Amino acid sequence: MTKCEVRFDSHPEPIEVPVGTLLTEVAREGGVEIQQPCGGQGRCGRCAVRVESGQVRRRSVLRLSQADLDAGYALACQTVVEGDAAIEVPPPEAIQRRLTTDHTAPEAVLPEDYDPARSQSIRRVAVRLSPPSMEDQTDDWSRLCTALRKEAGVERLDASLEQIRQLGPMLRASDWRIALTVETDKSGGAQLIRLQPEDEAADAPLCGLAIDIGTTTVTVWLVDLLTGRVMREASEYNQQIARGEDVISRIIYAGKAEGASKLREMVLGTINGLIEAICERTGVAPADIAKATVAGNSTMIHLFLGLPPESIRLEPFITTINHLPPLPAADVGIAMNPAGIVDPLPGVASYVGADITAGVLSSGVRASPAVTLFIDVGTNGETVLGSSEWLVTCACSAGPAFEGAGVVHGMRADTGAIEEVWIDGRTYEPSCRVIGNVPARGICGSGLISLVAEMFLTGLFDKGGNFNQSLGTQRMREGPHGAEYVVAWAAECEGEEDLVFTQVDLENLLRAKAAVYAGFNVLADSVGVPLDTVEQVLIGGSFGKYINVEKAVDIGLLPDMPWERFHFLGNTSVKGAYWTLIDRAARDEIAEIASAMTYIELSADNSFYEAFTSALFLPHTDLSRFPSVKAAMT
């Protein structure tokens, strides 16, 4: 038997082992500690090590990207030595960081040739007027308009009565030198947002807001409109959560006395609180904020603007308006310049809103002829299939199970939430990663996906979702509502009861994942594109950022295809709002996207029900659709 020597960076002596030994065995031999939360099944990625030199053979590279491989990473539990080798064991934090930041969305980067003057609709124009005289008694307004035409090519200026009232005194106090902030249109018209003395304007910021109103989280980006750059980002839970976790419960609450106005107040409170905090940190005044673009699902946009949402919930599911006009900030109630412009981005239908069109815009679906699947993983399960040529979309009403609702110990992705689980295939003991490294309080969406995948692959339930109580582990037991698996004992999680995952929880999750996957099927069938020919899968939504794709494939939530085709884009909605704020062409494009998208109403579609039923199994009735899972199962 040929021997070889393996050196670990953390160990003084080389370890001699037979060629063909697993790296985890080598480490155990030499007393080198390597984490293996999944019990050496090659699924958790936590045993990743870097091969500094020497020959190894990687039996499985799940959870490793091409970049990882290029950098020399290997899974210790899935890699055998084929000769002398030097191995670096990264500190556990480094692996964890690499895993969680892996594939996260790139920051919004401005193109090098970005020119605010050309791309942006908001302009600040300084004009110096010749004062009136007995020979030139032109009225102030005409004098201004003439100068604006000459100096900035503005053919028509619209202003409110309140702004016209300010003009005369300001011209005289500023020695006839003023600056105008205007929203320009392409036909030479302009709408006045702000009048300032030229001196004052020279030092003042000129800002905009890109706002994403999520059902759970509201995100605000403060943008410097003079450069197009993001100055500051801030997010906060939508205060409306206190009146319902999902859009349906919000709509029901809106139907109560004062309910709608309370919800409007709450989301405005959230937005304005974020703006206040950002302004304080950056020294920008609300009056310096000239424009805001707003993305969000149709219910969020309706509640935010005080539009009655009832008809969204009731068949035939109708919004009041999908393409809203630009609105005066004072009417909307955002804490910015009251004469500023709020531009709610266009949606497509009751359950495919401006968050999705903004996502399609910012994720570049339209920019490529490649067939792309765009998913916003969340309550509504909005999905878009398309390319630069065509777009179809649906919302599969997944329900809030993946957001932690309808699951006994489900919770939002907050401190104390289990976000990833590995189960040892021999002992059935779980290892968990908890947000904030504190005792677990519950399980969030990505944790649930991870847990279901692990339980399935370790045989804790079968492909029909039936819990197996004959495995000899005390973690699997009969609970008050049927079978349940103990994810953490009460003592571990400093709670009064064990943290469990039940048969009923699983059924809810299976319905949710089946709805999402059935949605993909219906979209693909509607245009005759086989799902496995999809060239890229873009995953948006801040929740989507944390999904473990492999595990999502394992449970049949995402289609089984090479890992490279999946891209996590983070909050594509706020990014879309940002692009429409700083680029007039992007604003035109999102309107085209909204108009071009063919919406398929799944509740009126028989094929959806069939696809849904087939997808209720793990990973799917038709195992041939999930070859990698089939391989893992055997």
Q: How far is 632 from 620, CA to CA, in rounded Å?
A: 14
Among 62, 110, 241, 321, binds a copy of itself (CB under 8 A): 321
Enumerate residues 6+ apart whose C-beta is below 8 A from 366: 360, 386, 387, 388, 391, 589, 593
Q: What is the DSSP string of 516-544?
A: HHHHHHHHHHHHT--GGG--EEEEESTTG
Q: Determine the interface stretch with a copy of itself among 114-122, 269-277, 326-334, 481-489 (rule: CB under 8 A).
A: 326-334
Angle between helices 584-596 and 354-363 (to 10 degrees): 120
Nearer to a copy of itself, 135 or 280 (CB): 135
Is the alpha carbon torsion for 512, 513, 514, 515 positive or negative?
Answer: positive
Binder among 58, 72, 141, 628 for a copy of itself (CB under 8 A): 141
For residue 158, state whether it binds a copy of itself (rule: CB under 8 A): yes
Q: Is 606 in the site for a copy of itself (CB under 8 A)?
A: no
Interacting residue with a copy of itself among 31, 91, 325, 530 (CB under 8 A): 325
Residue closer to a copy of itself, measured from CB, 77 or 392 = 392
Of 251, 292, 307, 506, the one binding a copy of itself by CB under 8 A: 307
Q: Which of 599, 607, 614, 633 is in the footprint of a copy of itself by CB under 8 A? A: 599
3-state helix, strand, coil in the chain (%, to 5): 35, 25, 40
For residue 162, state whether it binds a copy of itself (rule: CB under 8 A): yes
- Strand 566-570 with 536-540, pairing: parallel
3-state secondary structure of 631: helix
Residue 188 in contact with a copy of itself, rule: CB under 8 A = no
The structure tokens 């500190």 sit at 91
Q: Does 187 contact a copy of itself by CB under 8 A?
A: no
Of the candidate residues 107, 109, 113, 142, the single one contacting a copy of itself (CB under 8 A)? 142
Q: Which two tokens stand for residue 492?
A: 């571990």
172 near a copy of itself, judged by CB under 8 A: yes
Is 480 one of the binding residues for a copy of itself (CB under 8 A)? no
Compute the distance between CA of residue 475 and CA of residue 421 in angstroms, rounded to an integer.
Answer: 14
Q: How far is the CB of 137 from a copy of itself (least distance, A)?
A: 6
The answer to whether 168 contacts a copy of itself (rule: CB under 8 A) is: yes
| Least distance in angstroms from the C-beta of 134 to a copy of itself | 4
Q: Which three-class secondary structure string do you get for 483-500?
A: EEEEEECCCCCCCCCCEE
- Size (the chain), residues: 634
Given a contact cutoff of 8 angstroms between Cβ atoms, the answer to whether 432 and 424 are in contact is: no
Distances (CA, A) of 428 to 157, 585, 634: 71, 55, 18
Is 600 a binding residue for a copy of itself by CB under 8 A? The answer is: no
Beta-bridge partners for 392: 385, 598
Coil vs helix vs strand at 586: helix
Site for a copy of itself in 204-263 (CB under 8 A): none
Q: Compare residues 397 and 458 and give the one whose CB is closer to a copy of itself.
A: 397
Binding segment (CB under 8 A) for a copy of itself, from list 6-14, 167-175, 407-415, 619-627: 167-175
Select from 1, 161, 257, 491 the one that contacts a copy of itself (CB under 8 A).
Answer: 161
- Strand-pair category, 417-423 with 442-443: parallel
Verify binding: residue 323, a copy of itself, rule CB under 8 A.
Answer: yes
Strands 289-296, 341-344: pairing kind: parallel
Which one, 166 or 503, has the nearer CB to a copy of itself? 166
76-135 positions binding a copy of itself, by CB under 8 A: 132-135
User: Which of 139, 414, 532, 535 is close enough to bind a copy of itself by CB under 8 A?
Assistant: 139
Contact segment (CB under 8 A) with a copy of itself among 276-284, 311-319, 360-368, 505-513 equals 311-319
Query: 238 vs 319, which CB is nearer to a copy of itself?
Result: 319
Q: Is 316 in the site for a copy of itself (CB under 8 A)?
A: yes
* Angle of helix 503-527 versus helix 606-614 axis, rounded to 10: 130
Please, are residues 352 and 517 in contact by the beta-carbon 8 Å criterion? no
* Three-class DSSP category at 327: strand
What's the min distance (Å) between Cβ of 480 and a copy of itself?
40
Among 249, 603, 614, 621, binds a copy of itself (CB under 8 A): 603
Q: In what order do the strands lie in the sheet with 217-224?
A: 230-237, 217-224, 207-213, 289-296, 341-344, 327-328
CB 307 to a copy of itself: min, Å? 6
CB of 183 to a copy of itself, least distance (A): 15
138 binds a copy of itself (CB under 8 A): yes
Rule CB under 8 A: say whether 308 interacts with a copy of itself.
Answer: yes
Contact residue for a copy of itself among 252, 327, 623, 633 (CB under 8 A): 327
Closest CA to 545 of 458, 474, 630, 446: 446
DSSP 131: P
- Judged by CB under 8 A, the stretch of 35-43, 158-166, 278-286, 382-390 that binds a copy of itself is 158-166
Q: How far is the CB of 165 from a copy of itself (least distance, A)?
A: 6
Residues lying near a copy of itself in the complex (CB under 8 A): 132-142, 158-162, 164-165, 167-169, 172, 305-308, 310-311, 315-325, 327, 331-332, 349-350, 599, 601, 603-604
